[in-house]
Structure 1
């Protein structure tokens, strides 16, 4: 990038539009790569100059905030140079309809907002520490900048002046991810497509994706690892959410499970839950095999109660749950013709950034400014409005107005845990909130209970209505994290290059 920027004006020939398109992409990627490394490593040297192959750089590490300010400068430059939609540029018309993977003004503004929100977050403001006492202590200045950048995007989205929109959550059969007959795109299309000529997932919500030929990995590896090994015949890598994470999925009325008004009943733990629970989570009694199960008849209805047919620790569920948000449960050897064979063209892919995340980050940044009613002057939405947009999309109840102060921020974070579950954001969120080391998050549990209903119940009834007995959770492991784990270690060989490039604390 620096080589290109240094020689760009000397060698460029073309139109003013082409000039700006190239420069905007260069500034974006210089900022993006720094930001992606900073998330894990903290402040770094900001490499904004070209070095010859024979030269040893002598750039000292900046603080996180110093680095974030430089990242912001480059993202801001990129946003000023890039178009909202490449299809509407002269250069972009040459690849009309094939520009969806290109970065644009929206991408740059969203990452600008994310960079500012991360800079505002407790870890970046107060440094690595245990105890969680400062988890609500954000920097209001950086949060305000984040709200403005993200709010500018959301105002354009809300007015319909971008190509981005939240996809629908309209299902005829939510357990099988079967869309309603009137749905043109749906929530599942964000992560997995079938019967669409290998179409890369993301739909109208994907703001930033990498290129993907992931259909081959989908067919042979990815889609074969989301259920019991006896059915998902590939490498024995079983994906299962812990019971305490599944509890973030609250009730359909919008309240968390532990709220006294939620209506949650541990004798009916799967009843009346947030609709995303039924889309994302395989729980006891869900019909897992649609075809003839043959010798696997014991697994036709997910046996996830204690001692059930799918509770083997070595090759099934240790926690009492599977998840199917990213790949439907029909990706298994019996139902494969409808989901993961070559015929239906399966393609699994998780976007780096999608529109729902922008609503969530905006809500968080505005909550720092003014709680539920906090907002940016760049956007008509308040913090709670942004959260309720996501609740409305899935048919869940609005965030209760009884949540204020820190309790409201807890709801913002819970919504983020549910909406972005399993998409690769959770570690960085707990890290920047100074919660990574705290027992609530280091302890992992399983759901233990007795199935009361016999098998015939699940043939004729919705599994969410099943009664269970003695529902409780048991600890299965505890992560041994300390303050040093808030930042990953640098490679030792790198820290030996020169004195100014120091190792992260605790990893010396």
Structure 2
């Protein structure tokens, strides 16, 4: 018999107040009666705007369990977070239990938003007003509920599928569905959303569209086809994933061909769905991307610092892995002739960062705006703001807007990428590979690599494990710091390898003025246990419902 779960009364509130405001997060609706909200389409729209809080954003929101954007990198082999802002140390040390998830637990707040989505969907058809607007709002909320369920199943596996709002007269009991049942429900809901939104522009910036729904469907079906949940390698699942990706590829989006770094700071042709952040509603510049990503010598926090593991994943300019003896890679000249994306995504020792006029204090002491991660440099443990130094001796350039001075100017408007065309190409390449279509897989990998500036195409002879590894490597590079790596290594069932390796950094020492020595060193011991492929359901929920725990906890 399936386990039963009691859905607690905390999700009964009709209006859930949010942790932060942004362009899609208006004034809370708790000053309005339930009757007034569902008799006024403009209030129903405001209700919808509040539900966008289920989506991740680019802010650094301490103690916000629904927004783990940056934390997902530091809970994988991508990055190190020295301040442990989201409790990732529990994930990385192998000590995770149902009692200590802390800020990594999304169970309760996610079900709270699902309840509000259910309330909306049960009411919206009877709200008077423009039918086209009703359809748009209904499509958006259908997508947002689907996104909420996807967040749950990729963390916990199969979960209770609650499709109607609960009230005080409800039995509060519902069966826990399997992963496939949940995945199929999400996919079907996204089809509904795409149909409801088909009259809207496919490029509406920051709001859910048909394209956004189809892109999320592509990702959902890719996960369902992957080894974690497709243990028999059912090719029908890979076919569904392939078809879903191709449906998005056929839409009018294009790979962004401008400066690669601008892809993550400006509106462009590749972005399918983003979550917007409006500086007007930010309580502090400390929430700004540049502040918490930049190196200490620029008075940033280096809060989420790239690992040497990630840096080593970037190949060379000719497209070879650095482990290839013919690549010409020299660990004592490690930043020469690398994949162009490396220079756009990573701040490394000697790399200029920001406009010189923004950092006159560095020039006043005889330095420049070039990063100094070497021992004794401005960005080292012996430098400025040394409590904020990067332990790995790298910081992220990705997502940073270097056109303004984050130390003196107000944080710029930002977005977090939820879906973009490059990810869909990678989804399609992976699905095509597992369907046996190596040539198509290579074709779409080459499109991404060519856009990045890599000189050589992949050989047509690339097959089997070698091609599979290249597909995974391209995802690791192209999608770094976008919240994918944490889940990719789990759905591929390789986290027991990647997450059991030490997290590495580099110590750089100057040999006079002529050269530097690079000593690659362990920053953190990482431990991953078999049960960590899923999160434990919180102990408080288990105690209330007697629900069986995920295996191993």
Per the shorter chain, which TM-score range? 0.7 to 0.9
- Report the CA distance shift for 1:391/1:119 in structure 2 as closer, same or farther (over 3 A): same
In 2: Cα distance, 1:505 partner to 1:297 partner: 58
- Quick check: 1:166–1:355 contact (8 Å CA) kept in 2? yes
* Superposition deviation, residue 396 in structure 1: 1.0
TM-fit CA distance, 1:251: 0.8
Equivalent in the alignment of 1:305:
374
**Deviations 1:419-444, CA, capped at 9 Å, x for gaps:** 11112221111121112232565421
Map of 2:118 onto structure 1: 2
* 2:49 counterpart residue number: none
CA-CA distance at 1:296 after TM superposition: 4.4
**Corresponding residue of 1:28:** 143
Matches within 5 A, 1:119-134: 119-126=224-231
Q: Distance in 1 between matches of 2:130 and 2:369?
A: 62
Q: Which residue does 1:103 correspond to in 2?
A: 208
TM-score normalised by structure 1 residue count: 0.76
| 1:449 Cα deviation from its structure 2 partner | 4.5
CA distance in 2, matches of 1:218, 1:369: 49
Alignment of 1:305-344 (within 5 A): 305=374, 308-312=377-381, 314-328=387-401, 336=405, 341-342=408-409
**Local SS of the residue matching 2:524:** strand
Report the Cα offset of residue 217 of structure 1. 6.4
Q: Deviations over 1:470-497 (max 9, x none)?
A: x442222122221222111222232233
The 8 Å contact of residues 446 and 476 in structure 1, kept in 2 or not, is answered as: yes
Q: Is the 8 A contact 1:44 1:61 kept in 2?
A: yes
Three-state SS of the structure 1 residue aligned to 2:446 is helix
In structure 2, which of residues 294, 313, 326 is the aligned counterpart of residue 227 of structure 1?
A: 294
How far apart, in 1, do the equivalents of 2:437 and 2:509 lie? Answer: 42
1:475 to 522, 525, 537: 522
Q: How many Å separate the matches in 2 of 1:267 and 1:322? A: 19
> Which residues of structure 2 form unaligned runs of 5+?
1-116
Deviation, structure 1 residue 451: 4.1
Name the CA distance, whole Å, in 2 between partners of 1:497 and 1:36.
22
Counterpart CA distance in 1 for 2:316 and 2:160 is 46
CA deviation string 1:148-193 (max 9, x = no partner)? 011011022xxxxx3x3222234xxxxxxxxxxxxxxxx333333x
CA RMSD of aligned residues (A): 2.9
Q: Tell me, in whole angstroms, the C-alpha distance in 2 between the residues paired with 1:73 and 1:241.
A: 37
- 2:490 is aligned to 431
SS of residue matched to 2:503? strand
Q: Is the 8 A contact 2:293 2:303 kept in 1?
A: yes
Q: State how many pairs are aligned.
A: 426
Q: Alpha carbons of 1:217 and 1:431: their partners in 2 closer, same or farther (altered >3 Å)?
A: farther
Measured in 2, the distance between the counterparts of 1:481 and 1:266 equals 28
SS of structure 1 residue aligned to 2:173? coil
Indicate whether 1:487 and 2:534 are aligned: yes
Cα distance, 1:106–1:221 mapped onto 2, change above 3 Å: closer
Q: Of the candidates 322, 345, 351, which is equivalent to residue 286 of structure 1?
A: 351
User: Could you say which residue in structure 2 is the equivalent of 1:503?
Assistant: 549
SS of corresponding position for 1:480: coil
Tell me which residue corresponds to 1:422.
481
384-393 or 113-122, larger mean C-alpha shift: 384-393
Deviation at 1:64, TM superposition (A): 1.1
1:138-149 equivalences in 2 (<5 Å): 138-149=233-244
Equivalent residue of 1:103, what SS?
A: coil
Match of residue 266, structure 1, among 301, 308, 331:
331
**Alignment counterpart, residue 253 of structure 1, candidates 312, 318, 329:** 318
Rounded to whole Å, the distance in 2 between the matches of 1:296 and 1:220 is 26
- 1:356 alignment partner, one of 417, 422, 432: 422
Q: For the residues of structure 2 that align with 1:123 and 1:309, how far apart are their CA atoms?
A: 45
TM-score, with structure 2 as normaliser? 0.70
**How far is the alpha carbon of 1:354 from its aligned partner?**
1.9
**Contact 1:310–1:317 (8 Å) recurs in 2:** yes
Give the 5 Å matches for 1:382-461.
Answer: 382-397=440-455, 398-438=457-497, 442-451=501-510, 454=513
Structure 1 residues 5 and 228, CA gap change in structure 2 (3 angstroms): closer
How many Å separate the matches in 1 of 2:493 and 2:168? 40
Distance 1:294 1:472, change over 3 A: closer
* More displaced stretch, 443-452 vs 429-438: 443-452
Q: Structure 1 regions of 5+ residues with no counterpart?
A: 89-96, 127-136, 157-161, 171-186, 193-200, 374-381, 456-466
Distance 1:221 1:100, change over 3 A: closer
Structure 1 residues 261-307: Cα deviation after superposition (integer angstroms, max 9, x where no partner): 32222232111111111111122222347243255435653222356
The alignment status of 1:154 with 2:269, answered yes or no, reads no
Alignment partner of 1:189 is 2:262: yes
Separation (CA, whole Å) in 2 of partners of 1:439 and 1:5: 42
**Structure 2 contact 223–491 (Cα < 8 Å) conserved:** yes
1:26 to 1:350, Cα distance in 2 relative to 1, 3 A: closer
CA distance in 2, matches of 1:317, 1:168: 31
* Residue 116 (structure 1) shift: 0.8
| Residues 194-209 of structure 1: pairs in structure 2 closer than 5 A | 201-209=266-274
2:114 corresponds in structure 1 to none
Quote the Cα distance in structure 2 between the aligned partners of 1:218 and 1:348. 14
Change (3 A) 1:225 1:212: closer
Which of 183, 186, 206 matches 1:71? Answer: 186
